[in-house]
Structure 1
Amino acid sequence: MPWPDHLHEVHRYLALLRYIGVEVGDDRLEFPISAVDRHEADSLAARRGLQPEKTVFIHPGARLASRRWPIERFARVARRLAEDGWQIAVTGSQGEADMAHTLRARSGHALHDLCGATTLGALASLLQRGKLLICNDTGVSHLAASVRLPSVVIASGSDVARWAPLDAARHTVLHKPMACRPCAYNACPIGHPCALGVGVERVLNEARRHLQGDARQ
């Protein structure tokens, strides 16, 4: 089978399955959440005083530094949304704890730090009940899509046509077109214009639009 480079990543693999004779359904992502996942999420929320239905999750990390929106911009978004009355929870791996600490300090608010505090399943359970995710174009974006959590994704350096969530009504992907996309550098050698081209007000406007509506419908 000639590899269908022109298709979205999801549709590429569906095409492969069809080619080898496997019956496929629709193209929606799914993530199974167990009773154990829900219990862990409930316990963590109770200990931290977190109300998922009133929470905006912010995920500032990504494997490559070139895929990360500047931390000070995430902090400004977090500060403004906290001032709007939303609870803000910062997610990430244990290795991204310093990033979360910096975001909290620069936001000027007592954000909930969940870095390294959840299993993948418990995180999915929290996201499933959350209000919004704001993140880089990284794995948590696909997790949000699988549990139908609305999101605002800042895509720095990635191939948007290949990786953006398929449901454009529920998930807003913000990016600046660049001739050098997709980027494989860990650190951008030309000043990170793809990330800097997405402003704080643009992210805030999209976040508030989702929060004022109900993209789950």
Structure 2
Amino acid sequence: MSPLRRLAIVLALTAFGPRAGHAELLFEDRFDKELSDRWEIVGLTKEDYRLRNGGLEVRIQPQQGGDKTPMLKIMLPFTIEDTAIASVEVTVLDEFTREGEGAALCLLDETGVDFTVQKQRIEGGLFFAPGEYRFAGKDGEEGNPAKYHVHYTPATNAAGPLRIVTRGDHAYFMVGPSEEGKYQTFFHSAVNPKPKRRGFALRAGGGKPGDNHWVRYDNFRVTK
């Protein structure tokens, strides 16, 4: 791992750890009674999602080209000056069978999806994606993308909720807290530096037509 990559992770863990006493709640849906009317349903029929036993269950949608996968989305009042944190618990109810099938939490801007984190089927297993880029080169080769390999961590429920943290023109993929109270950081990326609007979405896609796979979302929460 390069020194810059290690520093970025350390800063993320330090700066974006939970600070409940200082956080402003922007939106929360526990899915315990009915779906909040603030959600916008995009491309999903009423048969594709349901509330059951205090959670939101969504049918995996077939693989589609481009950025057309149906979703539930909500736009919220935060800007690049804010540190915003979205979290949601994700449970895979039916085993994924198609490569790339996944249940995602997405960061949005006014044009669509800007950053995605998920539990995804990769080479036959269920992993957190995007994975962690680990440096495998020599000193001085940190700028060469070919000198990195991607490490994927198995996506267990015990690891905790999926989390997207945004700060400035970067977004970070974190998971936690785990059952032991730990957080993990897997990936970060530059995002739209001048968004007109921002929000988040729940998206389940990459499936095969005719499959009937469902995933469950619990305790969706956004703070800044």
Considering fraction of residues, name the structure with more strand. 2
Normalising by structure 1, we get a TM-score of 0.27
Considering fraction of residues, name the structure with more helix. 1
Normalising by structure 2, we get a TM-score of 0.27
Bigger relative CO (Cα 8 Å, ≥ 6 apart): 2
